[in-house]
Structure 1
Amino acid sequence: MRAIDYFDRGHDRDPQRLAVVDTETGLKLTFAETKELSERIAAALQRGGFENQDLLGLYGPNDGMLLVVLLAMWRANGKWIPVNTRNAIDANAGYINYVRCKWLVYHSSKADEVQQLKDRCPVMQHFVCLDKRMGDDPSLEEFMAGVTAADFVEPEVDAFGNLSDLVGIFPTGGTTGPSKGANVTNLGWGTMIETAADGMGGRTDSPVALVSAPITHAAGPIALSTLSLGATQVILPGFDAERVLRTIADYKVTHMYLPPTALYQLMASPEIGDHDYSSLRIFILVGSPCSPEKLRQAVDIFGPCMCQSYGQVECPMIVAWFPPEDVARFAKEAPEKLAACGRPTRSIRVALLDDDGREVPRGEAGEICARGALVSHSYFEKPEETAEVRKFGWHHTGDVGKFDEDGYLYIVDRKKDMVVSGGFNVFTAEVEAAVTELAQVREACVFGIPHEKWGEQVHAVVVAEGITGEEIIAYAKDRLGGVKAPKSVEFVPEIPRTAAGKMDKKALRVKYWGDAQRMVN
């Protein structure tokens, strides 16, 4: 099916059910109203010259109308370009020019940034401001003036749902250079939604999904997945720990998504014990590994709703799934298994390969490789980069993992982040998990720094209170042994993050490595 078909399937369940609730603007739309409004916006796009498979960027904080525009763009068979509000202007301009995006719908709060993008992006031709007129750029309401849903012309579609058409060109993390654009087709997107719905569906007759992470990042795909289940989307403009906790209780939220770092902020909030979280059925952690100890604590706080998924832009969201019933069981019976990210889903095959393309024995570490309909088609206009990650008939994720005896997958490290110290391989994710077991440590980022004798030594950057570096090192040495334990610890108020919300190890390495090659390999 097409991306928009999944929203329409949710609409068909109950057209009069609320689809969108924007807690900031007060916007409330039923599925029927959302469908009609998306058809009207799609008609306005067509009137304005929007063509089949045109590119449209969305830029702004979370907003209910931003989600409706996304649906309208797919209804007109366009391709989505997420423009990350956390990115530097140069990074966003470079990506827009690279993929040649013509259209931009933005929020007025980003008007200054948009003016800079206009100056740097000659490829962009059409601008619409979501909430009000900005200079020559019409407001969305002005842009829609004079058209109705009946004016929308359905694009040509085949009985399979145009499986090879693109739903978007999604930027990779870009931690080692400019982002590449992953070409994601209707086939890949639909595979993701169907697989996610398998894990999230059937748990309540009245699903309510909280959207506080950026719609322009992973929250967008998850929102579409829950919309396909008929879930009401309760939208916050951004993440605020106390507001999230109150919203769960006030709206009886059943489904939500956050990265582990946001979970840690919820757990540290002074309001954590003040609200009722019993409505929660699915609380997905995705984006980076979660501390097993903090995941165990989260089960105690939020109940048997905690779950994890593993994926990347090139195989979106759901390569592996750790369902809430497994997480809750292991929290009581086998807490060491909480370090896993789940088992491979039915929509994809996963293998752990060595550098020669051979599968490694179970229990040993190898690069996580994937094959199946979930895998993106290619990188946009980058055949050499595509070939680099498509060796031996597999997509190579760049992540290192291992399977346990029960088939659970553990993310050991990014291949480029592994520390080689005195000839021994040290996986930084394992060290980070051990260090964050300490109650005084909120976050830890581990990487290698130069050492004259060993080549590299393990270094930890932590956000912590009430503990010394020596105590952290001693604990890690007891848990992991002398080779893997940090040899030095640095305390910081916050760990820097990339625009995708991941820990920015490259930025932290700079003062130790400068421009040395090992810093990024």
Structure 2
Amino acid sequence: MTVASWIARNAGWRPDKLALVSGDRRYTYSQFNSRVNRQVNGLLAAGFKKGDRVAVLANNTSEAVEAVAAAAKGGFVHVPISFRLSPREVEQILRHSGARFLFLEQEFTETVNKIGQCPDLVRIVRHNPSDAATSEHEAWLAAQDDAEPAVDVTGDDNFLIVYTSGTTGSPKGALFQQKHSVAHAPVPVILYDIKEDSRLLMVYPHNSIASINMYYVPAWLVGGTIVLADARGFSAERWLSQVQAERITHCHLVPTMLIRVLESGAVPSYDVSSLETIGYGSAPMPRERVEQLAATFGDILVQGYGMTETSSLAAVLTKADHLKALAGDGRQLAACGRPVFGTELRVVNENGDDVSGEEVGEIIFRGQYITPGYWNDPERTAQAIRGGWLHSGDLARVDQDGYIYVVDRKSDIIISGGYNVSSKEVEEVLCWHESVREAAVVARPDPEWGERVHAFVVPREGHNADQATLIDFCRQKLARMKCPDRIEFVAELPRNALGKLVKGELRARVSRDTLQAART
């Protein structure tokens, strides 16, 4: 069974059913399948072949979704790229993945114009979702055959390379075959109650593994409808308006977004009665906020926990779990849930033994939709997957009922508004500046974003550095959400007897200062 077979099946079984809404464009399954076939046949006619990496740099557009489906049907490897990345970061992904073709939204042409040489990249086709008449993509698509592609695709064929910052500076590409997405699809279908008449509003950016494996593929499994939202500048009113206008049944948001919805006070002004499931995850959610959400939207909350490397979901706090916790002492609202079917999840100590009671250990995974490794990166694959188990770097404990409570991270990842930010990458960029001798980056607690990027800098002797200059320098090299918004200048960084940086002291200092500022 393949993702490709589900797309073709929907075109045959429910040709007039609405498949995709992208701004003013609306495509039935028959129309969507035709566009996907044209894309596959166009790539094949241009000399691209099964296994070639095909990248997409765009906002949440129809073309980005069609590229996933085309990869499934043509046996290509889909490489989604965030439009928020700097030219340096885009180039890094294009070069590392060996992408040969790029679907580029016209708005981000300048980003690509600034990248260096990518020897594998031989073709770029631009699309303009706001004006089909001037879209190179539409003209190219219209010239292609819409017959079902004559490509033998199997579940073992490579399907996705999804890049994640992980815990090290440079991004790493988690590899997935079609069988991984196929195995994962029933998890959200069952636990999020996705059905044929479901209408899924995709707010996450298209390059997220959650977008592909919690929206596209599950929708194609059951014949649901995907509705795209602009991934830029989340607005509570815009989200509520889209829920009302499109009669949205399902949506998954990061806590920052849901908090904005609550604080907007606008919910009573919109008809949100169509909502059946609101998922949340990617960052902690305070208990009082969960209670407010339940009071506002009803018993429709689901929390998901996982990683890019787990295809998305590995543990879920279900609607029933929320209802039980809200009716009781609420303790389990602090949990990320219990393991979902299709994957094994353990919490182990340093000896590899399962923890018990209040003991804290590392979360590890094994299962049929866990990544087999990182693309072209055997060293980091060996570091992450040991003895057949994927090591998450997340520290947790498990209660007697099997609920998992994440208590800390072994890594130095900063989760800001649901985005993973590698502190090492930010530190590296800061040290590129001539005025910086050393840099250390930690998370600063933030009531809206969950965490913010906070930097400590030791200036070079004889150089003058100021906060505004260094922040601007980072913004030229990094995506905005990765850049520090506060920089402290210090004479030295705390180190232990072995000379190793002690970030715990910096985190404690930031937390203490943040708490003190909140009290004044």
Task: State whether residues 128 and 138 of structure 1, in contact with CA within 8 Å, keep that contact through their aligned partners in structure 2.
Answer: no
* Equivalent of 2:403 in 402, 405, 408: 408
CA-CA distance at 1:304 after TM superposition: 1.3
What is the match of residue 68 of structure 1? 66
- Mark the CA change 1:33 to 1:507 in structure 2 (over 3 Å): closer, same or farther: same
- Mark the CA change 1:500 to 1:16 in structure 2 (over 3 Å): closer, same or farther: farther
- Mark the CA change 1:144 to 1:500 in structure 2 (over 3 Å): closer, same or farther: same
CA deviation string 1:399-427 (max 9, x = no partner): 11111121111111211359xxxxxxxxx
TM superposition score normalised by structure 2: 0.78
- Mark the CA change 1:398 to 1:329 in structure 2 (over 3 Å): closer, same or farther: same
CA deviation string 1:110-168 (max 9, x = no partner): 01112123x3423211100122899xx97112222432212x532123xxxx2321111
Give 1:148-163 correspondences, 5 Å limit: 148-150=145-147, 152-157=148-153, 162-163=154-155
Give me the whole-angstrom Cα distance separating, in 1, the residues matched to 2:9 and 2:329. 39
Local SS of the residue matching 2:294: helix
Local SS of the residue matching 1:5: helix
* Equivalent of 1:462 in 429, 446, 465: 446
- Mark the CA change 1:519 to 1:50 in structure 2 (over 3 Å): closer, same or farther: farther
What is the match of residue 108 of structure 1? 106
- Does residue 518 of structure 1 match 2:514? no
* Equivalent of 1:207 in 180, 184, 198: 198
CA-CA distance at 1:240 after TM superposition: 2.3
What is the match of residue 242 of structure 1? 237
- Does residue 176 of structure 1 match 2:168? yes
Local SS of the residue matching 1:273: helix
CA-CA distance at 1:219 after TM superposition: 2.1
CA deviation string 1:376-399 (max 9, x = no partner): 011112222111122243110111
What is the match of residue 4 of structure 1? 4
Give me the whole-angstrom Cα distance separating, in 1, the residues matched to 2:250 and 2:129. 32
Give 1:346-365 correspondences, 5 Å limit: 346-365=341-360
TM superposition score normalised by structure 1: 0.78
Give me the whole-angstrom Cα distance separating, in 2, the residues matched to 1:168 and 1:401. 29
Task: State whether residues 214 and 220 of structure 1, in contact with CA within 8 Å, keep that contact through their aligned partners in structure 2.
Answer: no
What is the match of residue 186 of structure 2? 194
Give me the whole-angstrom Cα distance separating, in 2, the residues matched to 1:504 and 1:180. 16
Give me the whole-angstrom Cα distance separating, in 1, the residues matched to 2:493 and 2:120. 35
Task: State whether residues 373 and 385 of structure 2, in contact with CA within 8 Å, keep that contact through their aligned partners in structure 1.
Answer: no
Give me the whole-angstrom Cα distance separating, in 1, the residues matched to 2:41 and 2:443. 56
Task: State whether residues 3 and 167 of structure 1, in contact with CA within 8 Å, keep that contact through their aligned partners in structure 2.
Answer: no
Q: Which runs of at least 4 in structure 1 moved beyond 6 Å after TM superposition?
A: 499-503, 505-510
Give 1:19-34 correspondences, 5 Å limit: 19-22=19-22, 24=23, 26-34=24-32
Task: State whether residues 167 and 411 of structure 2, in contact with CA within 8 Å, keep that contact through their aligned partners in structure 1.
Answer: no
CA-CA distance at 1:194 after TM superposition: 2.2
Give me the whole-angstrom Cα distance separating, in 1, the residues matched to 2:443 and 2:47. 54
CA-CA distance at 1:257 after TM superposition: 1.3
CA deviation string 1:316-336 (max 9, x = no partner): 211101222321332232322
What is the match of residue 429 of structure 2? none
What is the match of residue 273 of structure 2? 278
What is the match of residue 492 of structure 1? none
- Mark the CA change 1:98 to 1:501 in structure 2 (over 3 Å): closer, same or farther: closer
Aligned partner letter, 2:189:
A
Task: State whether residues 11 and 30 of structure 2, in contact with CA within 8 Å, keep that contact through their aligned partners in structure 1.
Answer: yes
Local SS of the residue matching 1:317: coil
CA-CA distance at 1:84 after TM superposition: 1.1
Unaligned stretches of 5+ residues in structure 1: 419-427, 433-444, 448-457, 465-495
CA-CA distance at 1:53 after TM superposition: 1.1
Q: Which moved more, 1:354-363 or 1:295-304?
A: 354-363
Task: State whether residues 35 and 141 of structure 2, in contact with CA within 8 Å, keep that contact through their aligned partners in structure 1.
Answer: no
Task: State whether residues 8 and 228 of structure 1, in contact with CA within 8 Å, keep that contact through their aligned partners in structure 2.
Answer: no
Task: State whether residues 363 and 394 of structure 2, in contact with CA within 8 Å, keep that contact through their aligned partners in structure 1.
Answer: yes
What is the match of residue 250 of structure 2? 255
* Equivalent of 1:226 in 219, 234, 252: 219
Task: State whether residues 99 and 120 of structure 2, in contact with CA within 8 Å, keep that contact through their aligned partners in structure 1.
Answer: yes
Aligned partner letter, 1:518:
L
CA deviation string 1:337-390 (max 9, x = no partner): 111111101101111111222221244211000111121011112222111122
Aligned partner letter, 1:108:
Q
Aligned partner letter, 1:258:
L
Local SS of the residue matching 1:50: coil
Task: State whether residues 56 and 81 of structure 2, in contact with CA within 8 Å, keep that contact through their aligned partners in structure 1.
Answer: yes
Task: State whether residues 310 and 371 of structure 2, in contact with CA within 8 Å, keep that contact through their aligned partners in structure 1.
Answer: yes
CA-CA distance at 1:275 after TM superposition: 1.5
What is the match of residue 44 of structure 1? 42
- Mark the CA change 1:205 to 1:325 in structure 2 (over 3 Å): closer, same or farther: farther
Give 1:82-481 correspondences, 5 Å limit: 82-117=80-115, 119-131=116-128, 139-150=136-147, 152-157=148-153, 162-201=154-193, 206-217=197-208, 218-224=210-216, 225-238=218-231, 239-417=234-412, 461-463=445-447
RMSD of Structure 2 on Structure 1 (CA) = 3.3
Task: State whether residues 107 and 131 of structure 1, in contact with CA within 8 Å, keep that contact through their aligned partners in structure 2.
Answer: yes
Give me the whole-angstrom Cα distance separating, in 2, the residues matched to 1:251 and 1:132. 19
CA-CA distance at 1:292 after TM superposition: 2.2
Aligned partner letter, 1:228:
L
What is the match of residue 514 of structure 2? none
Aligned partner letter, 2:222:
L
Aligned partner letter, 1:368:
I
Q: Which moved more, 1:11-20 or 1:44-53?
A: 11-20
Give me the whole-angstrom Cα distance separating, in 1, the residues matched to 2:31 and 2:502. 52
Give me the whole-angstrom Cα distance separating, in 1, the residues matched to 2:157 and 2:313. 21
